């Protein structure tokens, strides 16, 4: 893992130029680590994201009986449990990772025994009622032991039955939790989504020949009962993370003379709404799909040329496919001409930080005129970016990275404190930032 500084100074920078490959997709890495941990035999995983969040999933699977290591070429080897998970001695600590706690809870709901999952201060502010409800309907006992329905969580697993579940919120984490529990249920589990969310779980299940069908907004899975799916080890590959590549798209898009290409990046249609947003803003973006996909996930290349941008509005169904890029839409709002509006995005308030409040606070420190709504914000651009104090990340990796991109467009240097959190999802962020032309020390 890289050594990440506590604070950085980002200086104004010229055009961003160059080509790079970003590290493996975080969502896909989590799912593969869990499924390889359930399989019998040793799986190999190439381009697994070696970030804190994903390593926390590996550690949790190890505490449940799996074994894993990275070889000298960075290939991850996971010796699975064959589905026989052991009850760990104490609570599983999954750090900052909402994906780990929610997806792993689905698996543990179908195992005999009692399991506790906890994490860092941020994770302990994140709502868990959203997984308690469906898992209890399936037959598990789920105690949410944090204040206000937040982590930690204690699960007493057991015999599960399939349910018909209408997801009350657009959340791939909740959908995936229920699907993973559904593997251990008797009968069929059906989930209906209010709007489409990222479908990495469905894709990896299909790739593993698990009996999953998708019919419009309804996903159905035939369960295997308490024995589980008896998965066999295999080799997996992880495409580059679109959400990591997104920082460079925005770093290039609003700066004349920029020319950035990101190769081998995941191009799952449910992750790519930022491309549409950039195009609506008038950016010059080209996407080229590779002829073959990687383990059921489309991949390819994104090319961005910089120029003048105009304000856009993002809302409705688009939000779910843009959820981890909304801070970057706010950054675009500071740079584009007109008022950029983000609406229907209240979920941002329950991410690694309250991303509406934290983004608004940081943008105001940069001199941006921004209005805050319960479910979004309106940003007046283009702003003259002049920091009036050090920006704060609130321990949220995506704040640290989005604010660094914003700061690169400022007229003066910007201090950003507490940036070690970038290691959560993108340990090579600073070296990639510098390699494309960013000024940071
Ligand atoms: C994720 C889904 C999203 C996203 C998170 C990762 C996943 O969360 O914000 O970073 O891996 O399924 P929600 O589905 O809760 O919105």
Nearest residue (by CA) to ligand 1, atom 11, is 27
Distance from the alpha carbon of residue 41 to the mean position of ligand 1, in angstroms: 29
Is the distance from the beta carbon of residue 398 to the nearest atom of ligand 1 less than 6 Å?
A: no
Active site residue: 25, 295, 324, 396, which one? 324
**Atom number of ligand 1 nearest to Cα 347:** 16
Helix 98-108, helix 129-138: angle, nearest 10: 10
Is the distance from the beta carbon of residue 13 to the nearest atom of ligand 1 less than 6 Å?
A: no
Distance from the alpha carbon of residue 53 to the mean position of ligand 1, in angstroms: 13
Low-confidence ranges of the chain (pLDDT < 70): 1-5
Is the distance from the beta carbon of residue 105 to the nearest atom of ligand 1 less than 6 Å?
A: no
Nearest alpha-carbon partner for 313 in 333, 327, 331: 333
pLDDT at 1 (0 to 100): 45
Is the distance from the beta carbon of residue 93 to the nearest atom of ligand 1 less than 6 Å?
A: no
Is the distance from the beta carbon of residue 244 to the nearest atom of ligand 1 less than 6 Å?
A: no
Is the distance from the beta carbon of residue 33 to the nearest atom of ligand 1 less than 6 Å?
A: no
Distance from the alpha carbon of residue 278 to the mean position of ligand 1, in angstroms: 21
Is the distance from the beta carbon of residue 352 to the nearest atom of ligand 1 less than 6 Å?
A: no
pLDDT in tens, 131-186: 999 999 999 999 999 989 999 999 999 999 999 999 999 999 999 999 999 999 99
Map out the domains of the chain as residue ranges.
7-23+239-440, 26-226
**Atom number of ligand 1 nearest to Cα 30:** 11
Distance from the alpha carbon of residue 26 to the mean position of ligand 1, in angstroms: 10
Which of 172, 177, 180 to mutate for ligand 1's pocket (most ligand atoms within 8 Å of CB)? 172
Sequence-separated (6 or more) residues with CB below 8 Å from residue 209? none
- 92-93 vs 299-305, strand pairing mode: unpaired
Tell if the pTM clears 0.95, that is, is over it: yes
pLDDT at 5 (0 to 100): 57
Is the distance from the beta carbon of residue 100 to the nearest atom of ligand 1 less than 6 Å?
A: no
pLDDT in tens, 399-429: 999 999 999 999 999 999 999 999 999 999 9
Nearest residue (by CA) to ligand 1, atom 4, is 324
Is the distance from the beta carbon of residue 201 to the nearest atom of ligand 1 less than 6 Å?
A: no
Q: Is 164 a catalytic residue?
A: no
CATH architecture of the domain with range 26-226: Alpha-beta prism (3.65)
The CATH fold assigned to 7-23+239-440 is UDP-n-acetylglucosamine1-carboxyvinyl-transferase; Chain (3.65.10)
Distance from the alpha carbon of residue 283 to the mean position of ligand 1, in angstroms: 26
**Atom number of ligand 1 nearest to Cα 320:** 16
């Amino acid at each position: 893992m890289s050594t990440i500084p506590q604070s950085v100074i980002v200086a104004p920078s010229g055009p961003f130029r160059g080509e790079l490959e970003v590290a493996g997709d975080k969502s896909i890495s989590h799912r593969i680590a869990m499924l390889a941990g359930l399989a019998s035999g040793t799986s190999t995983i190439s381009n697994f994201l070696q970030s804190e969040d994903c390593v926390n999933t590996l550690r949790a699977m190890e505490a449940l009986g799996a074994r894993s290591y990275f070889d000298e070429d960075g290939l991850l080897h996971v010796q699975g449990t064959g589905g026989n998970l052991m009850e760990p001695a104490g609570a599983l600590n999954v750090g900052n990772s909402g994906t780990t706690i929610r997806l792993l809870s689905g698996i543990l709901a179908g195992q005999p025994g009692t399991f506790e999952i906890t994490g860092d201060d941020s994770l302990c502010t994140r709502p868990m009622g959203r997984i308690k409800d469906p898992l209890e309907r399936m037959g598990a006992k789920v105690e949410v032991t944090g204040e206000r329905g937040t982590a930690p969580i204690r699960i007493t697993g057991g015999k599960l039955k399939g349910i018909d579940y209408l997801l009350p919120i657009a959340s791939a984490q909740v959908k995936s939790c229920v699907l993973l529990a559904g593997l251990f249920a008797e009968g069929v589990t059906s989930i209906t989504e209010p709007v489409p969310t990222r479908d990495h779980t469905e894709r990896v299940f299909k790739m593993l020949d698990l009996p999953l069908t998708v019919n419009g907004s309804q996903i159905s899975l035939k369960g295997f009962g308490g024995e589980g799916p008896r998965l066999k080890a295999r080799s997996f590959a992880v495409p580059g993370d679109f959400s990591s590549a997104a920082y460079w798209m925005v770093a290039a898009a609003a700066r004349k003379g920029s020319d950035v290409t990101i190769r081998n990046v995941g191009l799952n249609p449910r992750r790519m709404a930022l491309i549409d947003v950039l195009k609506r803003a008038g950016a010059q973006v080209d996407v080229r799909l590779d002829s073959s996909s990687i383990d059921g996930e489309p991949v390819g290349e994104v090319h961005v040329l910089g120029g003048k941008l105009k304000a856009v509005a993002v809302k409705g169904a688009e939000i779910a496919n843009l959820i981890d890029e909304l801070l970057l839409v706010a950054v675009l709002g500071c740079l584009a001409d007109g008022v950029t509006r983000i609406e229907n995005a209240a979920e941002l308030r329950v991410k690694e930080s309250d991303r509406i409040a934290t983004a608004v606070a940081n943008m105001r420190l940069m001199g941006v005129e921004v209005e805050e709504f319960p479910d979004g914000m309106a940003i007046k651009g283009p702003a003259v970016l002049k920091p009036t104090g050090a920006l704060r990340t609130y321990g949220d990796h995506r704040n640290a990275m989005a604010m660094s991109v914003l700061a690169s467009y400022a007229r003066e240097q910007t201090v950003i404190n507490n940036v070690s959190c970038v290691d959560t999802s993108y340990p090579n962020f600073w070296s990639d930032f510098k390699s494309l032309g960013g000024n940071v020390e």
